[in-house]
Structure 1
Amino acid sequence: MARVESFELDHTKVKAPYVRIAGTEKNEKGSTIQKYDLRLLQPNQDALPTAAVHTLEHLLATYLRDELKDVIDVSPMGCRTGFYLILWDERDPAEIAAALTTVLQKVLETQQIPAVSPLECGNYKDHSLFSAQEYARIVLAQGISADPFRQ
């Protein structure tokens, strides 16, 4: 059976919100990609509503690309407690945490969600800027750590 990194993480020991390297892959040509766990909410204690996840996905996909070079993808976690960020090359988790903090501050200032027409989005009716901003406020108030196992 294939190894799935996130299934091996002890979700009872992490302390959200945090940024964590969830994997680094190198191919035979020397290219490197890195996957980050951008955990906004404490696992098994809270979850983002789907409209908030969807809106945050649009905003993070846009704003993280403004803050960081070489973003490949930003995807929501199925458990709805955060997102995965995939980048080219290796980065320091503190750099990613700082970028996520900046992006969530931009979310609070956002007036319009990008790409929410039927042409641009596969479920354009399921968005909530209000909810996305409320959860951004909660995460920012707690502070984003680069240490998921802090005491």
Structure 2
Amino acid sequence: MAKVESFTLDHDAVKAPYIRVAGAETGQLGDKLSKFDVRFLQPNEDSMPTSAIHTLEHLLAAYTRDYLDGVIDISPMGCRTGFYMIVWGTPSVEEVATVMTKVLEDVVKAEWTDVQGTERGECGNFRDHSLWGAQEYAKDVLAKGFSVDPFERKVLK
């Protein structure tokens, strides 16, 4: 059985919120992909309710693409403590932390009409959203800042 990188991470040793490279791949033609762990909450201590993480997923999907080229996907972690983001290329952790900070500032200012994909035909669980919840988690992360080191608090100034 293949070893999954995220299951080798000591989840009790990390100090959220943080951004880290969780994987990098180079394709047969030399194309590069990077996977980032965008952690909002301390693992095994807290988790976001589905309505908040669901709305954050929709907002991050749109706003991140406004600031970072090559975003392929942003998906919530099953543990509901953050998101995985896959992008073309190899942006630095510092670049991603700066982008995600701008994105969360946009989330805090968002109105319900800014949340894309909330109608029945656009979303598989359109009733399970909370803009208020998404904004509260965004505010919390902004107050703490994203660390560029998962094990030591190194917040960009």
Q: What is the TM-score when the length of structure 2 is the normalising length?
A: 0.94
Residue 97 of structure 1: how far off its partner (Å): 0.3
Equivalence for 1:38: 38
Deviation at 1:86, TM superposition (A): 0.2
State the alpha-carbon separation in 1 of the partners of residues 10 and 31 from structure 2.
29
CA–CA distance in structure 1, aligned partners of residues 107 and 116 of structure 2 = 11
Cα deviation for residue 28 of structure 1 reads 1.5
Provide the secondary structure at the position in 2 that maps to 1:13.
Answer: coil
Q: Is the counterpart of residue 130 in structure 1 residue 129 in structure 2?
A: no
How far apart are the structure 1 equivalents of 2:30 and 2:80?
A: 33
Q: CA RMSD in A?
A: 0.7
Number of the residue aligned with 1:121? 123
1:107 aligns with 2:107: yes
Q: Which residue of 2 aligns with 1:27?
A: 27
Q: What is the CA–CA distance in structure 2 between the aligned matches of 1:66 and 1:115, rounded to whole Å?
A: 17
The Cα shift of 1:115 comes to 1.3
Whole-angstrom distance in 2 between the partners of 1:42 and 1:121: 28
- CA positional deviation for 1:114: 1.4
Q: What is the one-letter code of the residue matched to 1:28? A: Q
Matched position secondary structure for 2:72: strand
TM-score (norm 1): 0.98
Structure 1: gaps spanning 5 or more residues: none
Measure the CA separation in 1 of the matches of 2:76 and 2:54: 8
Cα drift, residue 147 of structure 1? 0.7
May I ask how many residue pairs the two structures share in their alignment? 151
Tell me the percent identity. 56
The aligned amino acid for 1:87 is V
Query: Shift of the alpha carbon at 1:126?
Result: 0.3
Q: Helix, strand or coil: the match of 2:128?
A: coil
Looking at structure 2, the residues matched to 86 and 124 of structure 1 have their Cα atoms a distance apart, in angstroms, of 24
What does the per-residue CA deviation read over 1:50-89, in whole Å, with 9 as the maximum and x for residues that have no partner?
0001000000000001110000000000000000000001
In 2, Cα distance between equivalents of 1:64 and 1:90 = 16
Name segments (4+ residues, structure 1) moved above 4 Å. Answer: none
**Residues 1:75 and 2:75 are matched in the alignment:** yes
Aligned twin of 2:97 = 97
